[in-house]
Amino acid sequence: MAEIKISAKARTEFGKGAARRARRDGLVPAVLYGHGTDPVHVSLPGHETLLALRAANALLSISIDGNADQLALPKQVQRNPVKGTVEHVDLVIVKRGEKVTVEVPLNVIGADERADRVVVMDQQTITLEVEATNIPRQIDIDVTALEIGDSIAAKDLDLPEGAVFPGEPDDLILSISAAKTQEQIDAELDAAVADVADDEAAAAPVEQAGDEAEADSE
């Protein structure tokens, strides 16, 4: 993954008020820590940070007030639940050549080639131990040739050179199941509707008894 250069400014004001002012100015409060260093509070450019963090495990090359760059990975990202903007970022310092443990997205290819089957994902991401400067954006899984009943385990994945899966080789990643027919879908829908009707019928006498009790009390 390519390094994304970001120029940061040292932050000397703290607290909610200072954070709100920074966001009004188009900045994102952040803290940089790791490798035994004291945490460094910085402000990042909002738009550049938002674009950079669209990629999972974005490798940031951060220069604080024009000083030497430091490599960092986003550890925790807080977003505005309505606007989707980045409100705060925890960044962990990494060094070239060191291995880190990250969650990498899994990307299925060929799932739409045949309508008679569906891909059942047991995992949406996979944990990998990989060099900080060689984190893959995603792991592609081609299911085009798989048949109903086939499955993919962790040992079957095509991982980039140097990447290691720390879990069990036989951990299930995905499986192929037969697609439901329209008749099956309709039958399940009818059954669900019947269950709701039964529940409502069972609850009706209870509600009526409650109404009678209230009338008596009056």
112 lies in the same domain as 137: yes
Cα angle 181, 186, 189; round to 5: 130
Q: Are residues 187 and 174 in the same domain?
A: no
Chosen domain end from 72, 94, 116 = 94
pLDDT tens, position by position, 82-140 = 888 888 999 999 998 899 999 999 999 988 777 778 899 999 999 999 999 999 999 99
Per-residue CA distances from 92 to 32, 33, 42, 74, 166 (Å): 6, 5, 13, 6, 21
* Same domain? 9 vs 79: yes
Calpha distance 114→132 (Å, rounded): 38
Q: Per DSSP, what are the bridge partners of residue 60? A: 4, 72
- Residue numbers of the domain that contains 29: 4-94
Return the pLDDT at 184: 65
Residue 176 has pLDDT above 50, yes or no: yes
- The pLDDT tens digits for 142-163 are 999 999 999 999 999 999 989 9
> Which of 94, 121, 146 finishes a domain?
94
- Are both 10 and 71 inside the same structural domain? yes
Q: Do 109 and 134 belong together in one domain?
A: yes
Q: Average pLDDT of 183-208?
A: 72
One domain, residues 166 and 190: no
* pLDDT band per the 50, 70, 90 thresholds, residue 215: very low
Closest CA to 122 of 177, 174, 176: 174
Sign of CA dihedral 36, 48, 9, 41: negative
pLDDT above 70 for 1: no
CA–CA separation, 166 and 183 (whole Å): 43
Domain count, the chain: 3
Question: 105 and 87: one domain?
Answer: no
CATH code for position 51: 2.40.240.10
| Residue pair 174/152 in contact by the 8 Å Cβ criterion | yes
pLDDT at position 16 over 60 = yes
Does 78 share its domain with 144? no
pLDDT given at position 90: 93
Residue 110, amino acid: G
CATH of the domain at 150: 2.170.120.20
| Residue 212 confidence (pLDDT) | 47
Domain match, 154 and 189 both: no
The fraction of the chain above a pLDDT of 70, given in percent, is 90
Are both 66 and 105 inside the same structural domain? no
Q: Which of 59, 94, 129 is the last residue of a domain?
A: 94
- Binned at pLDDT 50, 70 and 90, residue 56 comes out as confident
- In 112-181, alpha helices (H): none
> Are residues 83 and 104 located together in one domain of the fold?
no
- Does the predicted model carry a pTM greater than 0.85? no
| 204/215: higher pLDDT | 204
- Identify which has the larger pLDDT, 72 or 14: 72
> Does residue 194 share a domain with residue 164?
no
